[in-house]
A and B are shown apart, each in its own frame.
Chain A
Amino acid sequence: MTTRYTKSHEYVRVEGGTGVVGITDYAQSQLGDVVFVELPPMGQTLSKGAEAATVESVKAAAEVNAPVSGEVVEVNSALADSPSLVNEDPSGKGWFLKIKLSDAAELDSLMDEDAYREFLKAVS
């Protein structure tokens, strides 16, 4: 199991050929109380960097981009009733969607955990 991170604070946790996508703990802390998450339809094909979801906190809306290309095979329906899961457990129950990776090599362009930690030190 590998987890990779983007500079826009999404993560993708790869399990087999599928990536679980969400936002990092840093991102949820910057957003504050999440009140709504708009998820893409199942079956949609996303390319790396394209808008995959929108997350709304009390004060603002932010776009969540696909860290990797592929087809949306599952979305987290629990977020409809409990958007605060994104704050409470961003890397666990607060995941957004699952993507069937179309090009696993794209992962090489993303940061691993150590690199993301260093990146955070630079931006925060």
Chain B
Amino acid sequence: MEDPPKEVTSLENCCRAREIFQVSGQRGLGSAVFAVGHAPLSVWPGVLMSECQATVIDVAVRELARTPLYDMHRALGARMTGFAGYAMPVQYPSGIVSEHLHTRALTGLFDVSHMGQAIFAGSHAARRLETLVPGDIAALPLGRMRYTQLLDAQGHILDDLMVTRLDDEAGRERLFLVVNAATKRADFTHLAAELPDCALTVLEDRALLALQGPKAAEVLRRHVSSAAAKSVSAMPFMSAKSYARDDVFFIISRSGYTGEDGFEISIPATATPGFAQELLAEADVRPIGLGARDSLRLEAGLCLYGHDINRTTGPVEAGLLWSISQRRREEGGFFGYEQVKRAIDHGPARLRAGFLLEGKAPAREGSEIVTLEGQTIGRVTSGSFAPSLGRPVAMGYVGAAHAAPGTQVCLIVRGKPLAAKIVSLPFVPHHYFGGD
């Protein structure tokens, strides 16, 4: 189990960071307050950013990397936050709850350009990538994508990622990878070091937008070429296509991180502001910040790297066995196979579970999970108010014997036990599109 995040008991850390950030964890209104899926911000050594959450003040924003939509976010009145070294919008003036509900009801546009994009190519790129991930990449047909994890030799998760098979080019297989922002440099270094026979091309000059919600397909088809419009609507979940519109080359996948139907759109950086403005001109589309992105993915039961999964967790206990095909379970051939196989055969010692709280007070990351008898069985890894349910929810790991849905537990918040019940994930049903 990961060490629990400590409360910020002294303001000293906050003060040290104050020139750059206004920081807080669970303490101190004066030092204001945002716990947005806080990936460690390693850029400021000495300040334990994984324990403090940060709100960037204007001065600091200038020292962070910017996405191509930075000016647009500012013009829209976004509150910016430092996330994985980027200045990102945490929310727009309407606020997280309103953005969250809008995405579920209509459609939201998210800037996720901080994430890493790369093309991994080689004569046997799929088989080679399979040595680092447990997902079935070799069997991935053209235009299909998989969710998988980069594992270390102990079977722990270095990152989670999306892998899409593109057309072969000059006899080389090509895979399009999308990885997390906070881990992208380490991921790409790892890939290049382990698989030097393949070519890794990091796409530094492309942005990534997510268009998510029940109206996403209807909206997007109006903004691709007329030839592509029909196929965009017909694409099933976890498929991808490349399109050119004028001279702009798009990679559009039907995927996302909200539990809703939707798309992720890779687009050249220079074309991004214009394309985003086009989408935002649609009546059903509103810009959505990282705050609602986090509450949406939590309701959808999806893991946030650095919180629900990290270098101390494996895919089986994280409930990600569905992402490992039968062939890979039997054949292995990836880092950490022995540990993964053992967890499959004998069952993991602990499991990621979902918690529905009975009261209104949320339990946050780090809260202890105890049985009704007072025995500690785990800790919360993500927790927040769930806007679509109007009540707080959480995820965390508990001993496997305690993980059955319906089990009553308590989550300890500020020393008080809050009643909660283990429920199956997701908290809010997914609405993925299966195809026409």
- For B55, list chain A residues within 8 Å (CB): 30
C-alpha gap A23/B32 in the complex (Å): 12
Looking at chain A's contact residues, the main secondary structure is mixed
B387 to chain A: closest residue by CB: A58
Known contacts A9-B29, A23-B29; is-contact A61 B364 (Cβ 8 Å): yes
Considering the complex, which residues of chain A in the window 28-43 have a beta carbon less than 8 Å from any beta carbon of chain B?
A: 30-33, 35-36, 38
B346 within 8 A of A: no
* CB atoms of A59 and B35 under 8 A apart: yes
* CB atoms of A38 and B33 under 8 A apart: no
A7 within 8 A of B: yes
* CB atoms of A30 and B33 under 8 A apart: yes
A112 within 8 A of B: no
- For A30, list chain B residues within 8 Å (CB): 32-33, 55
B36 to chain A: closest residue by CB: A59
A115 within 8 A of B: no
Contacts across chains A and B counted by CB atoms under 8 Å: 92
- For B98, list chain A residues within 8 Å (CB): 33
Stretch at the interface among B89-97, B191-199, B319-327, B347-355: B89-97
Of A9, A63, A83, most buried by chain B (CB within 10 Å of CB) is A63
* CB atoms of A27 and B29 under 8 A apart: yes
A55 to chain B: closest residue by CB: B29
Q: Which among A35, A59, A64 is the interface contact of B29 at CB below 8 angstroms?
A: A64
Q: Which among A9, A10, A33, A123 is the interface contact of B95 at CB below 8 angstroms?
A: A33
* CB atoms of A56 and B95 under 8 A apart: no
- For A27, list chain B residues within 8 Å (CB): 29, 32
C-alpha gap A38/B53 in the complex (Å): 21
Interface size on A, residues (CB 8 A): 31
* CB atoms of A54 and B414 under 8 A apart: yes
Considering the complex, which residues of chain A in the window 42-67 have a beta carbon less than 8 Å from any beta carbon of chain B?
A: 54-65
Q: Which among B22, B35, B385 is the interface contact of A35 at CB below 8 angstroms?
A: B385
A56 to chain B: closest residue by CB: B362
* CB atoms of A62 and B35 under 8 A apart: no
C-alpha gap A32/B289 in the complex (Å): 13
- For B96, list chain A residues within 8 Å (CB): 32-33, 57-59
C-alpha gap A66/B360 in the complex (Å): 23
B360 to chain A: closest residue by CB: A36
Nearest CB of chain A from residue B434's CB, rounded to whole Å:
31
- For B385, list chain A residues within 8 Å (CB): 33, 35-36, 56, 58
Closest CB pairs A-B (n = 7): A8-B30, A62-B29, A35-B385, A60-B35, A60-B33, A30-B32, A33-B97
Given A8-B29, A33-B98, A62-B27, 9 other A-B contacts at CB below 8 A?
A8-B31, A32-B34, A38-B361, A56-B362, A58-B384, A59-B53, A59-B96, A60-B364, A63-B27
Q: Which residues of B approach A to under 8 Å, CB–CB?
A: 22, 24, 26-36, 53, 55, 57, 90-91, 95-98, 291, 294-295, 360-362, 364, 384-385, 387, 392, 414
Q: Which residues of A approach B to under 8 Å, CB–CB?
A: 6-10, 23, 27, 30-33, 35-36, 38, 54-65, 80, 83, 87, 123-124
> Could you pull out 7 A-B pairs where Cβ atoms are within 8 angstroms?
A23-B29, A30-B55, A54-B414, A56-B361, A56-B362, A58-B385, A59-B35
